[in-house]
Amino acid sequence: MMYSSRFDCPDGWEAIDFSDAVTVVSTNKKKINQKQYLENGLYPVIDQGSSFIGGYSNDSDKVIKGNYPLIIFGDHTRCVKLIKSAFIAGADGVKVLEPKGFITPKLLEYFSHHLASCIKDKGYARHYQWLSKETIGIPPLNEQHRIVAKIEELFSELDKGIESLTTAKAQLQVYRQSLLKHAFEGKLTEQWRKDHQDELESSDELLACIQDEREASYQQQVADWQVAVKLWEENRKEENKPSKPKKVKRPNSITEEQLRNLPPLPKGWVWVTPQDICSDEPHSIGIGPFGSNLKVSDYTESGVPLVFVRNITKNNFTDNLHYITAEKYKELEAHSVKPLDILVTKMGDPPGDAEIYPAGKEKAILTADCLKFRVWPKFCSNLFYKHCINSVLIKKQLGFITKGVAQKKISVSRFNTVFFPMPSKEEQHEIASLVESKLEGINRFEVELEYNIKKSEALRKSILKKAFSGQLVPQDPDDEPASELLKRIAVEKAELEAQAKQEKAASRKPRKKTTAA
């Protein structure tokens, strides 16, 4: 056993290398891979994943032999688990450790948690090589029990606090969705409509106005195109011929069956599709380019920024950006993003987290798993429709249209089948303002809860650090020092080994003597 001088031990403790506190239990030919996991079975499969149990198996030949409890260390993930009964090891990165007799398994689990958090994350490298070289202090046996009892007492109080914080956070999410549901069913502005009923343009009139203006805009685009073609011909067709503008296809009217699957709307509201309310500009609804059209090798350190899913989900369009050149932007301009566009994540379960590309930002390009939705600002509030997409009303529809797809994604064609409620523009702004005001309070409270949860987790680490350094409970001078404990266990082990040798020798049958003929 290697005694270490790297650890400043309290009185009565003994410092040793971690590798001398455990016996590595062989898992040779006993591991099973994830494809072999069952949903139920006789034995749990313990792997290095975050879940305590990865799956199950009925293969008794794979059960790990050892003196339980045993400790699992995730060689790649640095997770630590204390296993008290028969189990089977997951295939990759599982170290099975049997605590030696001079340290209680529970205390070694806590010490292992502390050490694992101190080891620098090396990615998918194997971390046990560093854990095994760490130094740990072995307290007197009675003090070990006191330390474990104190940790469990403090952790129990912490767990209650974290549970309350987590419950409050979940309730905030319920309240958030309840708020959005009321907003887009018209309940949030019910009194406002009564107060302004004689002042509002009906949604049917607003939709007809959008359609008339869209047709006029299209005719203007055709006229501009005809002029551009004439100039192209006069210039002897030196460049590519200008593309004829595409007319936005009018969606089919909503059917009775579709209406039955949607909640009732207030008087004066109508159901619309994205194509009804998108901007008259080309490519107002679109997705990022296919992977072959935008590769990692195209990224640059400056230029036109790219928008990724993480930018949308974190509402951060400033930090850790990737860029492309102006030339590459021109090639991908159909996938461009303008300030105040609604950006939507194409993936998720369900997909469809939405955020607005901030005002004042430079032009950008979408990446593959993002969708843009540019509403017509003259008639529609982008803030209203952003919150609408984030509500259960739209999330539910997005879940249906991606059902059965191997990797759940929203395509433009599927997105265009979603039905949005449309009140008057004045009411859209009123709803957006009310929702923003209420969400501001929710978000502020959510940040506070998240801070307190992280603070609690930091306190958990602090408790383990104090326990590891001998500062959690007072030392008792009457406790047998750990050095005596180690010597006694070493003597007992030697005696047991000697006894085993004697028994083995005694069990051997004496050879029969042969006599010469």
243 and 308 both lie in a single domain: no
Beta strands per DSSP E along 380-475: 420-422
Q: Is residue 515 part of a domain?
A: no
Q: Give CA–CA dist 197/269, Å, rounded.
A: 12
Three-class SS of residue 376?
Answer: coil
In this structure, the strands spanning 70-74 and 135-138 are: unpaired
Contact present, 189 and 384 (Cβ < 8 Å): no
**Structure token pair of residue 430:** 């009123």
Assess contact for 371 and 416: CB atoms under 8 A: no
Q: 99 and 126 in contact (C-beta within 8 Å)? A: no
pLDDT for residue 510 = 60
For residue 136, list its beta bridge partners: 16
**231 within a domain of the structure (yes/no):** yes
The total of structural domains in the chain comes to: 4
**What does the DSSP assignment read for 221-248?**
HHHHHHHHHHHHHHTTT-SPPPPPPPPP
**Full-model pTM:** 0.75
Point out the residues of the chain with pLDDT beneath 50.
2-5, 517
Question: Are residues 134 and 48 both part of a single domain?
Answer: yes
Same-domain check for residues 130 and 268: no
| Residue 516 located in a structural domain | no
Q: Are residues 221 and 291 in the same domain?
A: no
307 inside domain: yes
User: Is the domain of 196 the same as that of 207?
Assistant: no
Instruction: Name, in order, each residue with C-beta under 8 angstroms of 244's C-beta and a sequence gap of 6 or more.
Output: 222, 225
Cα–Cα distance for residue pair 370/352, rounded to 1 Å: 9
The distance in angstroms from the start CA to the end CA of the chain is 56
- Quote the domain boundaries for residue 352: 259-422
d(CA 494, CA 351) in angstroms, rounded, equals 63
User: Same structural domain for residues 270 and 317?
Assistant: yes
Residues 179 and 308 in one domain: no
d(CA 378, CA 214): 11
Which residues pair with residue 80 across a beta bridge?
73
**Does 8 reside within a domain?**
no
**What are the DSSP E strand ranges found in 444-501?**
none
Burial class (CB in 10 A: 0-12, 13-18, 19+), 465: middle
User: What letter represents residue 472's amino acid?
Assistant: L
Per-residue tokens: 263: 């909640």
Cβ neighbours around 382 below 10 Å, total:
21
CA–CA separation, 273 vs 251, rounded Å? 7
* C-alpha distances in Å from residue 209, one per residue of 270, 376, 478: 14, 12, 90
Q: What is the DSSP letter of 96?
A: E
Phi and psi angles of residue 12, each rounded to the nearest 5 degrees, phi first: 90, -10
Q: How many CB atoms lie within 10 A of CB 378?
A: 11
Instruction: Indicate whether 304 and 399 sit together in one domain.
Output: yes
- 54 falls within a domain: yes
Q: Are residues 414 and 271 in the same domain?
A: yes
Domain annotation covers residue 3: no
- 38 near 58, Cβ under 8 Å? yes
**CA-closest candidate to residue 395, choices 177, 182, 172, 179:** 177
Same domain, 367 and 398: yes
Q: Are the CB atoms for 374 and 385 separated by under 8 Å? A: no
How far, in Å, CA of 354 to CA of 393, rounded?
14
Burial class (CB in 10 A: 0-12, 13-18, 19+), 422: buried
For residue 34, the number of C-alpha atoms closer than 13 Å in the C-beta half-sphere is 8
Two tokens, residue 189: 């502005």
72 and 48 in contact (C-beta within 8 Å)? Answer: yes
**CATH number of the domain bearing residue 56:** 3.90.220.20
Tokens 């009018």, residue?
A: 250
- Residue 192 is predicted with a pLDDT of 94
Of residues 322, 315, 327, the one with CA closest to residue 366: 322
Do 193 and 217 share a domain, yes or no? no
Q: How many CB atoms lie within 10 A of CB 191?
A: 9
Residues 266 and 415 in one domain: yes
